[in-house]
Amino acid sequence: QLDELLAGTRPERIEAQKARVDQLDASLGKLKLDLKKTTLKAPFSGTISRRWVDEGTVVSTAGSQPIFSIVEDGAVEANIGIPVSAASQLQLGSTLPLKIGQKTYTAQVSSILPELDSDTRTVTVVLKLDPAAARTVAPGQLAQLEIAQSIATSGYWLPTTALVPGVRGLWSCYVLGEAVPLKSPIAEGKTTFRVERTDVEILYQEDDPSGTHGQRVLVRGTLQPGDQVIISGMHRIVPGQFVRPIKQ
């Protein structure tokens, strides 16, 4: 040992001790990492709504097993699938009415996911509700979203007074059909028309902008441009009846 002290420690023993130190450092680093993995950190502030595993259960960090369910504080979002054509008309940051239960809230479009659901053929729109909803809405409730979408279509506007019940729950209206000249000397130059029934499909209903007829409907069917539609007194008219317009 005196000779070793005088000559100094051999290089191979020094390297062996360095290797031992490196091994201990690696073990210490692994222990620190394992200790770090024992602490769960939530990605956001919230309230634990459910615990999925019991205390002492061994779980793997490599898997996707849930430990807790957390409800984010102060933020309520709704994920709703809508048709692609409707999603293309939405703008990020715009507000829409969202009905949850019996209440209607104001929701802001926060994102539109670029994926198409293969089952429903819809895209998911994420709507952020106003802060007041956080106190009254429970996670998991169903939400209903109404979107006004413009669809180009052709048809005719008629007052609702022109409609008469048709067959199988459909609607009809009466038009002036075949013209028959009057032979009476008093009615010289005037014409009577045979009343004909025309089935129509109601596409849309709204208040009459002119305020003349109250409600009006957009219809399509076998109506043709130039057809004269009877719009009042429907209870006194039947198909096949002859009528004469007051003004000719």
C-alpha distances (whole Å) from 139 to each of 49, 67, 69 are: 10, 18, 11
pLDDT of 123? 92
User: pLDDT by residue (tens digit) across 151-202?
Assistant: 777 899 999 999 999 877 789 999 999 887 766 555 555 788 999 999 999 9
Mean pLDDT value across residues 37-62:
79
pLDDT of 246? 78
Backbone angles phi, psi at 21, to 5 degrees: -65, -45
Residues above pLDDT 70, as percent of the chain: 88
Q: Residue 142 above 70 pLDDT?
A: yes
Of 47-51, 53-57, 152-156, 196-200, where does the model show the most confidence?
196-200
User: pLDDT by residue (tens digit) across 21-39?
Assistant: 888 888 888 888 777 777 7
Distance CA 105, CA 215 (A): 29
pLDDT of 38? 74
pLDDT of 9? 60
- Report the predicted TM-score, pTM, of the whole model to 2 decimal places: 0.44
Mean pLDDT value across residues 44-66:
79
* Of 182, 179, 183, residue with least CA distance to 193: 179
Burial class (CB in 10 A: 0-12, 13-18, 19+), 66: exposed
Q: Are 234 and 161 in contact (CB under 8 A)?
A: yes
